[in-house]
Each structure stands twice: as C-alpha cells, then as structure tokens.
Amino acid sequence: MDNSTENVTLLAGYVSDVIDTVKELGHATEGLEAILAGFPLENPYKQIPMEIYNNACNWVENELGEKNVIEVGKKIGARAYDILVDNHIITPDANVIEIMEGIEIAASTTIQDPKERGWELLTQTETSIVMRRTQTFNSRLQFGLLERLAERCPTVEKDSVSIKYLQEVVKGADFDEYEVTWKYTI
C-alpha cells in the first residue's frame, strides 16, 4: 500500500469528529490538541492535511486504545453517511451495498488525493461485502466506520453487523481488506 500523504487533504469535519469523540468519551484531549494546534477546525468543509488526521487517529489508538479509536470511527461513519444523503449520493432507504458504493464516492470527493486512493468494494453478496482500504486511514478506526455505515441501513437488524479483517497490512498484505456481514430485519 502506498502510505504517502504528500498533497493529500480531507475535510476538517472528520478531524473535529476525532477530538469531539474523545471529549464525549470523557478523556483528556491535551495530547490531541497539541497535534491539531494551528489547524482551524471551525469550518467542517475546510481541507486539512491527511497527515494531521492520521496522527490524531493514531494518537487515539495508541494513547486511549482500540475501543476508543473504533468509537471515533463510528462518529466519522455517521458524518460520512450524512454527507452521502445530504448530497443525494444515496437515499435514506439505501441498502448496505448502495451505502458502501457511496462511501467510495465520498472518499473520492471529501479527500483530495492526487493518487485517488480511498475505498474499493471488491465483492458482495446479499448479506456481505468485502471492502479494501487504499488510503492511509487508521486501520482499526475503519471497524467503527464500516459498522456505523452498515447500521444506518434501515432494514439491517440491530446489532447484527460484524466486521473482520480478511487481509492486514500489518501482517504483510498489500492492503487491508474488511469483510462486513449483516442480517436483514425482513
């Protein structure tokens, strides 16, 4: 995987979600605020360097643990879903596959990357998909992001979404690949 972040930016709103979630979880944010110093987060649509976002997410995972970085991912997943609906990329009644196809589009529009990295939907069945992470996002955070996106489908059974690695960069794979499974309510 290409881990370069040169000239890669993303929406400040995603960066704000990191610090907001840490505050909501009741953790101190001084270390995180030091990473974000000098980067204005007031306008959620302003572009912020990907490296700063990655540093903030990695700080959460390293200092506060995997559970907390997954919670950050859930908040970012909710923002991404709202962006998809607000921009008419998906409808509020979209199924999981439509939502995940939308996240491919959202990554390419909310992230400015000359190499056009983000997400790829590799395979799909009626109740599962495999997603490939091609951007430098925090690997563990994506469990929360993908879970929240799938949960937003109105016909997905509550607490049925499951995410697991199929391949991991940290174990020598070229990309992280995630299998997302779910059950429908009907």
d(CA 128, CA 117): 23
pLDDT tens column, 21-50: 999 999 999 999 999 999 989 999 999 999
The pLDDT score that the predictor gives to residue 29 is: 92
- In Å, the largest CA–CA distance within the chain is 49
Burial class (CB in 10 A: 0-12, 13-18, 19+), 14: buried
* Count of other CB atoms within 10 angstroms of residue 171: 8
The pLDDT score that the predictor gives to residue 88 is: 95
Domains defined along the chain, listed by start: 9-181 (3.90.1520.10)
* Count of other CB atoms within 10 angstroms of residue 125: 9
The pLDDT score that the predictor gives to residue 54 is: 95
99: CB partners within 8 A, 6+ apart: 81, 84, 90, 149, 150, 152, 153
Inter-residue contact 64 to 57 (CB < 8 Å):
no
Looking at the DSSP assignment, which residues form a beta bridge with residue 47?
11
| pLDDT under 50: residue ranges of the chain | none
